[in-house]
Structure 1
Amino acid sequence: MTSIADQIAGPPVADAAALAKGDAVAAAAPAITLPVAGERELRLDLFRGLALWLIFIDHLPPNILTWFTIRNYGFSDATEIFIFISGYTAAFVYGRAMLQAGFVVATARILRRVWQIYVAHVFLFTIFLAEISYVATSFENPLYTEEMGIMDFLKQPDVTIVQALLLRFRPVNMDVLPLYIVLMLFLPLILWLMKWKADVTLALSAGLYALTWHYDLYLTAYPNGVWFFNPFAWQLLFVFGAWCAMGGARRMSRILSSPVTMWISIVYLVAALYVTLTWHVPQLGHMLPHRVEEWMYPIDKTDLDVLRFAHFLALALITARFLPREWSGLKSPWLRPLILCGQHSLEIFCLGVFLAFAGHFVLAEVSGGAALHALVSICGILIMSGMAWLISWYKHSADKGASKTKGTGGNADMAGGGA
C-alpha cells in the first residue's frame, strides 16, 4: 500500500501550460497554499515514524524504554502526533487533487484510501485474533484472551465479526485505525469547506468539539462502552492539521515566531512536566494546590482533553521553531529508520500492533529483568525499521522497473500507486 507521505509530491507537471492552469486554479482559492510540486517535508515523516515507535513501546509492559516516551513527561502522547500529521499530510495530498482535478475526483481518491485503510484494519484484526487465540490455546493460558479483549469473540464469533466489520468491536491496541478511517471519510467535506473558508472550517470543528463535551456525544462500542478515541473530539486535531497544511500555519507565522508565544509554551511544558512527575513521585504532590487538582483532573484521553491538546500545541510550536525544514540532520543515516517508518506508516503501524502482543507474550512467559524488557523493545523497533527499509527498497525497484518499461513504450500503470 502507498503511504500518504509518499504522495505529498504529487504527479509531475507536464508542461508550462499545465503549470499556468494550476496557478489559475490556486488563485481562485487563496485560502489554500500547497507546497511546490516535488517538494517533500521530511519532518513529517520523521515525527510520524517517531510516533509509531512510541506507540509500540507504550503498548508493551512498562520497561526502561517506556521512560523515553513523551507520555511520562506531559499530558499528550504519540497519538496526538500521529493524528495531527495524518490530517496535515492528507490535506497536502488530497487538497492538491481537489484543486487540480475537482471535488468528485478528489473524493474518489480519498475513498480509495479509506478502503485501503479499512482492508488493512480487517487484515490486522484477523491476524491479531489468530495470534492471540493460538498463544492462549498452546500455552493453556486464557488470561491472554481476557487481557487483549477478545473474550466476547470466543463466546459469540458470528456476532462479534459483524461488529468488528462495523468498527464497533476492537481488541486492545486496535483503536487508532478505526478513528483514522472515520476521520478520512469526512476529509472530502473538510477540504471542500476549507476551499471556501479555511478559518470558518476550523471554527466549526472547534464548535463540534465543544458540543461533544457539553452534550457528551460519543460512538458506542461492542459489547459495551464507547470508542476509546471519540471521533467527535479527535476530529479537532485532524482538522487542525489539515488547516495548518492549507495555509493556516503560514497565516500564524507572526504568532508562532513571537518570543512571547515561545515562552508561554515553555512555561506550559514545564508545568505539565511537574504535574506528570507527581504521578510517579507522590511526594511532589503536596506542592500542587488542591483547587488546581480539582479543576484539572481527570485529564481525559477519550475526548481529547483541552490540556492534552494545548500540550501538543506547545510541543509542536517549540519543535517547528527549533527544527527548521533545512536541518541537515534530516539527511543523517541515523534518522533514516525513523523517516522510512513514517513514510510507510500504515504497514508499520499494523506490524507494531502484532509485535506488541508478541513482546507481551515473551515477557509474560519468560522470566527476565530490565535487560529482557529492553531487548524485546529494541528488537521490535529493529524489525519495524527493517520492514520499512524492505518496503522502500521494493518500491524503489518497482519504480525503476516502471521507468524502464515506460521508456521502451510498455505499460507502466501496474507499477504505480494510487492516491
Structure 2
Amino acid sequence: MARTNVTMAPTIPTGRDLRLDLFRGLALWFIFLDHIPSNIVAWITIRNYGFSDATEIFIFVSGFTAAFVYGRAMSDYGFVVSSARILKRAWQIYVAHIFLFVIYMGQIAYVARGFQNPLYAEEMNILEFLQQPDVTLVQALLLKFKPVNMDVLPLYIVLMACFPPVLWLLLRRPTLALALSGLLYALTWEFGWNLPAYPSGTWYFNPFAWQLLFVFGAWCALGGAERLKWLLRSRITLSIAVAYLVIAFLITLTWHIPRLAPLVPRWLAEQIYPIDKTNLDVLRFAHFLALATITVYFVPRDWGPLRSRWLQPAILCGQNSLEIFCLGVFLAFAAHFAKVEISPGIPMQILVSVLGILIMIAVAWLLSWYKDATARRTGRPVDQAAKPSLGGEA
C-alpha cells in the first residue's frame, strides 16, 4: 500500500487552481443568463459564438475538482473510505436537487395560479406535475422527471455516484481509464444508449456521453494536464485552436443571420448537422478543447489578476457552486416572470440580468464569510484557495 501511495502522490495537485473557480463562476453566470428566455444580455455568453456553451465548462471543472478533492483521499485512506465520501457528496447533491425541485415547483405553480397564466406551467414543463403530483413526485425522486433548467444536477449526481471505480482506475491506469471512457462515449453514439425520462423521452444530458468530459477533467487533474503541457504550449496547437474557433464562429453566425446560411457548403452542413447537445457532439467537445487550449496558453496558474478584487465575485461564486447554481434556477424564473408581467423590453432584460448576478455574488460572499467564521471558531485554518465546492464536500 505504501508503494502505491508513493506512485500516486506526484500526480495529485497540492494547491487549488483559482482558474477553475473563476471559470466555473463565470459558467454559473452564463447559465443563469442563458436560462432567461429572450434575454439580450445572454449575447455575452459563449453559446452564441460557437458550438459549446457554459455546460461544458461546468462539467469539466466539476470532474477536475472531484479528482482534486477525492484523489488525495483515495491515495491516503483507500478505496472504501474515499468511496464513502464521494457517495456522501452525491447524496448531498441529490438532497439539494430534491429541495430545489419542490421549491421550484411551488414557485412556478404559485405564479401560474396567482396570475392566471397557465403558460408558465407549460413553458417550465410542469403540466404533468400539476395533473398527477403523486406519480410525478416519485418520478422526480428517481431523477426521471425534470422541469426546464433542472437537468444539470441529475447528470452530476449520476456522474458522482459512479465516480469511485473511475477514480480508482484513474489513479492506477489513467490512460486506460480515459480510453474506456472514450469507448463508452463511442458505444453510446453507436447504439443510442440513454436513460429514460418521464413522462416520455430520454435525459436531456445523456450521462453515458457527458461522462467523457467529466472523466477527461478528472484525468487532467491527476497528471493529464501536466503530460499535455508540451502540446498546450505549442504555437501550432494554439493556431489550430484559434482556427477552429473562428470557423465555429462563422458557422454559428449563419444561425443568427439566415441569409448567410447558403455560405456553408451543403456537403459540410450534411456532415456537421445536427450538432447534438444531448449526446455531447464531437464538435461541441472539440470546441471546448479549443477554448481550454487558448485559456491555458494565455492564463497561467499564477496569473496575477486571479488575486485581484475584480475577479473575486466570479471566484466566490465558483467556490460555492452548488448553492449558486440552485439560486440561479430560481432567479432565472423570477427574471422570466418579471419580463412577462412587468415589461419584456430591453431595459427590463438588462435590469433582471444584472440584479440576478448581483444577488448571486452577494449570496456567495455571505456563504464564504460564514465558512471563514466557522473555520475560525473551530480553530481550522482558513484557506480560500482550498474551499470545497460542487465537486468537493460541504
Same fold per TM (> 0.5)? yes
| Per-residue Cα deviation, 1:50-91 (whole angstroms, up to 9, x for no partner) | 000000000002223111000000000000000000000000
Matched, 1:34 2:12: yes
| Aligned counterparts of 2:345 and 2:115: Cα–Cα separation in 1 | 22
Shift of 1:418: 5.1
Deviation of the 1:255 alpha carbon:
1.3
- Residue by residue over 1:98-136, the C-alpha shift from the partner in whole angstroms, topping out at 9 and shown as x without a partner, is 000000000010011001100000000010000001101
For 2:28, the equivalent position in structure 1 comes to 52
Question: How far did 1:367 drift?
Answer: 2.2
* CA deviation profile, 1:272-303 (whole Å, cap 9, x unmatched): 00000001112222221110001110000000
| Paired letter, 1:234 | W
Output the CA distance in 2 between the equivalents of 1:299 and 1:191: 30
Instruction: Tell me, yes or no, if structure 1 residue 102 matches structure 2 residue 81.
Output: no
Q: Deviations over 1:206-234 (max 9, x none)?
A: 00000000000011100001100000000
Amino acid in structure 2 at the alignment position of 1:64 = I
Report what 2:387 is aligned to.
none
What is the percent sequence identity of the aligned residues?
A: 63
Runs of 4+ with >3 A deviation: none
Alignment match, 1:79: 55
- 1:216-273: CA deviation from partner (whole Å, max 9, x where unpaired): 0011100001100000000000000000001111111111111111111010000000
Question: Paired residue for 1:408?
Answer: none
**Distance between the aligned counterparts of 1:260 and 1:380, measured in 2?**
41
* Residue identity matched to 2:169: L
- Counterpart contact for 1:75–1:311, Cα < 8 Å: yes
**Residues 1:112 and 2:88 are matched in the alignment:** yes
Secondary structure of the corresponding residue to residue 268 of structure 1: helix
Verify: 1:168 aligned to 2:147, yes or no. Answer: no
Q: String of CA shifts for 1:339-397, please: whole Å, max 9, x gaps.
A: 00000000000000011001110101112421110000000000000000000011111
CA distance in 2, matches of 1:353, 1:153: 18
Provide, for residues 15-34 of structure 1, a one-character-per-residue CA deviation record: whole Å limited to 9, x for no partner. Answer: xxxxxx98x5532337x611
Q: Which residue of structure 1 lines up, in the alignment, with residue 232 of structure 2? A: 256
Partner of 1:7: none
The unaligned stretches of length 5 or more in structure 1 are 1-20, 405-416
AA partner of residue 284 (structure 1): L
1:202 and 2:178 correspond: yes
Q: Residues of 2 paired with 1:218 and 1:369: CA distance?
A: 39
Give the total of aligned pairs: 384
Q: State the TM-score, normalized to the length of structure 2.
A: 0.95
Separation in 2 of the partners of 1:233 and 1:355? 29
Q: Would you say the 8 A contact 1:359–1:376 is kept in 2?
A: yes
Alignment match, 1:364: 340
CA offsets, 1:5-53, max 9 Å, x none? xxxxxxxxxxxxxxxx98x5532337x61122xx221100000000000
Q: CA RMSD in A?
A: 1.6
Counterpart position of 1:186: 162
Report which of the two structures shows the higher radius of gyration computed on alpha carbons: 1
Counterpart of 2:206, as a letter, is N
1:285 is matched with 261
Matched, 1:321 2:279: no
> 87, 94, 107: which one pairs with 1:131?
107
Instruction: Specify every segment of 5 or more residues in structure 2 that has no aligned partner in the other structure, as ranges.
Output: 381-391
SS of residue matched to 1:61: coil
What displacement does 1:196 show?
Answer: 2.2
Check whether the contact 1:341–1:388 (CA below 8 A) recurs between aligned residues.
Answer: yes
The alpha-carbon distance between structure 1 residues 418 and 329, as it changes in their structure 2 partners (threshold 3 A), is closer
| Matching residue within 305, 315, 333 for 2:281 | 305
Provide closer, same or farther for how the CA distance between residues 169 and 247 of structure 1 changes in structure 2, counting only shifts above 3 A. same
**Matching residue's letter, 1:366:** I
Q: Residue 76 of structure 1: SS of its match in structure 2? A: coil
* 2: CA distance, partners of 1:27 / 1:403: 30
CA–CA distance in 1 between the matches of 2:208 and 2:245? 26
Partner of 1:352: 328
Corresponding residue of 1:330: 306
Query: Aligned partners of 2:30 and 2:12: how far apart in 1?
Result: 29
For 1:372-387, list aligned pairs within 5 A.
Answer: 372-387=348-363
Alignment partners' CA distance in 2, 1:226 and 1:286: 33
What's 1:64 paired with?
A: 40
Whether the 8 Å contact between 1:75 and 1:272 is mirrored in structure 2 is yes
Contact 2:204 2:278 in 1 (8 A): yes
CA contact 1:168–1:222 (8 Å) conserved in 2 = yes
Q: Is the 8 A contact 1:25 1:100 kept in 2?
A: no
Instruction: Name the CA distance, whole Å, in 2 between partners of 1:99 and 1:291.
Output: 50
